[in-house]
Structures are given as structure tokens and as C-alpha cells.
Amino acid sequence: MINIKFGTDGWRAIIADEYTVDNVRRVTAGTALWMNQKNYKTVVVGHDCRFGGEMFLKATTEVFCQHGIKVYYAKDFVSTPMISLGVVKLKADLGIVITASHNPPSYNGYKLKSNFGGPSSPQDITEVENLIPETWDTKCTPFDELVKNGNASLVELENMYVEHAEAGFDLDLIRNSGLKVAYDAMYGAGQRAMLRLLPDVIALHCDNNPSFMGQAPEPIMKNLTELSTLIKNDPSISLGIANDGDADRIGMFDGNGLFVDSHHILLLLLMYMYKYKKLSGEVVVTFSVTDKMRELANKYGLPCEITKIGFKYIAEIMTQRDVLVGGEESGGLAVKGHIPERDGIWIGLMILEFMAATKKSLEELIQDLYDEIGTFWFDRDDLHITEEQKQNVIKACKDGSYSQFGNDKVISTETLDGFKFIYGDERWIMIRPSGTEPVLRVYAQGKNAADTRAMLDAAKATIL
């Protein structure tokens, strides 16, 4: 028996080690007990492209039905946003996604989605954790029999999502704009939907491959060299889009094959929504996002709130207040007019619509952005170190041991979620252990790529 805990975004573990059918049944039993306490009756269940997805979905369905809960299930792989949207469209009480998102292929996971179509609140997740039984050995009615008797019903979540996207965007404008798009699905669950919405994209890794060819499906620069090279070798390509394993995150490249990080995408979304679409609302971003978001929000006269890291904090605010743009450093972004959920396909379509509507390249839009708030650069290192080293670094941060990294002196420290060391002149370093992987993350915002790289190298040299 292991003690199952949900991290920043769900429970994740290595398949056949801690992520087993028995443990999935335990998590589901705890979730079902919580649902019964709340008098919740229906749940939507789906899985992404990872190994064993269908097997874990069936085990999950059997346990829910054993507790008298009606299950709507998706056949074959679907993205996380498809589950969240399905919860809303079907008026279900909860959604379950069998996914480890961007983690390496040896992992799988279990996400809870609330009835508003976004991540469940930290309070709800804690309540579920406290109800997970130490064992689950109850014999359940087999999945196929549950389907036959109507306790589990098949739903077409991908069709539902595509129809929703077709209603949400001017796809004719995008398709007729002359923009040539390269799309890297990273073997993830967004592949079919994107090819349906944009049939003319140049597609990479749009195959069902649970091994992800050994690569963690995280849409960051170092994992997307093939997409970058493709764009650099084809001057006719206007934009590159990549999604992670469950398609709730996005990575992007401009027409020169240069990576455009989530900070720039967030800023572009804010510019498009406020300046061009004439919409208003609050801006909500996590602690590791560039402070340029607060600067642009202030310029537009919009309130800006900084949350702890984890999209669940943003989603909770989006259900309570009028939020225009929300997002996190890791590529999970959301906008007004959609569900309060990260959605890599939706955000890609929005940037494409921005380009088509303005007849500007991504490079030109970014320059417009720089004209408003100035240039900056952001980067991140993931340090795979021992648990002892990690804890030593965190203790040193808590004890105030770091007053200088390289030649940069720390003038102030912020500790909302992790440790952000401010140098001044819009330059800073941040240190925080990952909530989803056994790594220590070091973030940096600098003046340019070389400056930011030097900051990260100096930080690593200091703490290790």
C-alpha cells in the first residue's frame, strides 16, 4: 500500500510501479465516496494516448458504477479539454482524465475535473485524498456488462469539442488567410482534433504511439527541434504549434523557427482580447509568469492577480470572477469565452485568428508587443538532482542563505510559491521544486537570451 497524494496537477506515478490497476481502483474508490457524500451522480471518464489508458479507464468505470455513479466514457484517446468540455455539455458532476500530461512515457496519472469544466479545487482534492482506502479488493461488475445494462454510456467527446471550436472561431478566416501552419502533436491526444479543424497543416508525430518515442511530450524548445528545423527549412511556414500529451498545453514557433514561450503567448492573448476584440476583465497568472503581464494589464487598466503555481488556482478564480486571460509559465493558458481550462488547441487557434485578423506575422505581433512593454527573455532549467540535494537547496532558500548569484546581488525576495530572487531592472531568478516531477526548477527573466542563460548558469553554480 502506498500513500497516494495529488500534486500540482493530479496524481502521477510510474506505470507498473505505483501506477497500477489496484491503485487506480483505490483512487477511484476515494473519488466515488466523495461524490456520494456530495450527492453527485454522474462522471465523465477518458484517457489520453499513454500505455494502458483503456485498461485504466475500464477499471475506473467499474469502481464508479459499483458505487452507483453513472459513467459517460470516451472510446479511444481524448484530450483533457475534451473531458472538461464534456462535463459542462453533459451537465455531469465530475470529470476524470487518465493522463500524466507532459511527464515521461513511463508515467500515467489521474486528474479530477470539476462540474464547471476545469480543475477541481485544492479543497476538493484534499477531501478526495482523505477518502482513498488503503486497499480495494471488491469484485466489480465487468465493464462490458456495465455498458450493456446502461450504467456506462459511450459519448463522442471529440465531436463535441470540434463543434464547439467551430462555433468559437472564424475558421474560414484562418483557413483562407494564406497562413501555413506546422503542427507537432508530440504523439498526443490533440492530433485528430487539430487535423479536423485545420486539415491543411503540416503534421508531425500525429500517430498513436504510447512510447512517445522515448520523449516526454512537453512542448518546450529542447523537445521540439524537429519542428523548429522544419520551419527553418521552409520559408513558407508562418507558424509552428505543438501540444503536450493531453493537449492542454502549447508551445509555439514563429516563421523563423524561433521558439515563442508561454509568457509571450500570454501577452499576445491579452493584447488581442483587449486591444483588438475590445473585451475586458481581470488578468490572473501564476507566480512564475513574467511580470510583464502585470505591466501590460496595468497599462490597459485591468486588475491583475498573481496566484500560486498550478492552473487549479486560476480556474477557481475564473469560476468566480470575470477573467479575461489566465495562465501559467508551463504553457497552460486560458481565455474568456471558453471553459476555465488550459487548452493548447484553443490557444493555438486564437493566435492564428489574431494573425489572420491583423494580417500580421507572429514576429510583427511580438514587435508590437515590445513597442508597448519593452523586450525581455525568459528561460528555465530543470535540475535532476538527488532528493537530499533538493532539500538542502530549499532549506538554504528558506534560511536566506542566498544573497548573490554570480555577479548579481539579490535586492529582495518573494515567497508566494517558491523563492523568487529579485535583482532589479526586471531581472530575477526563481527556485522551486516541481509538483509533478522529481526535479528542481530554476527560472530566470533577463534582458536577452545570453543574459538569461548566464543568470541560470550562475544560479546553478551557486546552489549545487
* Percentage above 90 pLDDT, the chain: 95
* Percentage above 70 pLDDT, the chain: 100
Whether residue 201 is predicted with pLDDT greater than 90 in this model: the reply is: yes
pLDDT for res 8: 76
pLDDT tens digits, 393-452 = 999 999 999 999 999 999 999 999 999 999 999 999 999 998 767 799 999 999 999 999
Structural domain includes residue 70: yes
Whether residue 9 is predicted with pLDDT greater than 90 in this model: the reply is: no
pLDDT for res 462: 97
pLDDT for res 434: 84
Q: What mean pLDDT comes out for the span 277-288?
A: 97
Together in a domain, 340 and 446: no
Structural domain includes residue 67: yes
Structural domain includes residue 2: no
Together in a domain, 256 and 297: yes
Together in a domain, 103 and 17: yes
Together in a domain, 177 and 322: yes
pLDDT for res 401: 96
Q: What mean pLDDT comes out for the span 252-278?
A: 97
Among the candidates 373, 405, 433, a domain finishes at 373
pLDDT for res 7: 83
pLDDT for res 104: 94
Residue located via cell numbers 453527485: 40
Whether residue 331 is predicted with pLDDT greater than 90 in this model: the reply is: no
* Domain CATH for 438: 3.30.310.50
Reported confidence tier of residue 349, pLDDT bands at 50, 70, 90: very high
Whether residue 11 is predicted with pLDDT greater than 90 in this model: the reply is: yes
Together in a domain, 359 and 291: yes
Of 69-78, 156-165, 383-392, the range with the lowest mean pLDDT is: 383-392
Among the candidates 373, 397, 427, a domain finishes at 373
Structural domain includes residue 1: no
Together in a domain, 151 and 264: no
Whether residue 181 is predicted with pLDDT greater than 90 in this model: the reply is: yes
Q: What does the longest C-alpha to C-alpha distance in the chain come to?
A: 69
pLDDT tens digits, 63-121 = 999 999 999 999 899 999 999 999 999 999 999 999 999 999 999 999 999 999 999 99
pLDDT for res 435: 72
Together in a domain, 137 and 279: no
Together in a domain, 217 and 342: yes
Together in a domain, 185 and 315: yes
pLDDT for res 239: 97
User: Does the predicted model carry a pTM greater than 0.75?
Assistant: yes
Together in a domain, 126 and 177: no
Together in a domain, 382 and 418: yes
Structural domain includes residue 405: yes
Reported confidence tier of residue 310, pLDDT bands at 50, 70, 90: confident
Together in a domain, 214 and 347: yes
pLDDT for res 137: 85
Structural domain includes residue 335: yes
Measured between alpha carbons, how far is residue 120 from residues 85, 123, 131, 342 in Å? 14, 8, 16, 13
Structural domain includes residue 5: no
Among the candidates 125, 157, 189, a domain finishes at 157
Structural domain includes residue 6: no
Q: Which domain holds residue 420?
A: 377-463
* Domain CATH for 101: 3.40.120.10
Number of domains the chain contains: 3
Can you read off the three cell numbers belonging to residue 91? 451537465
Helix 53-66 × helix 21-38 angle, to 10°: 40
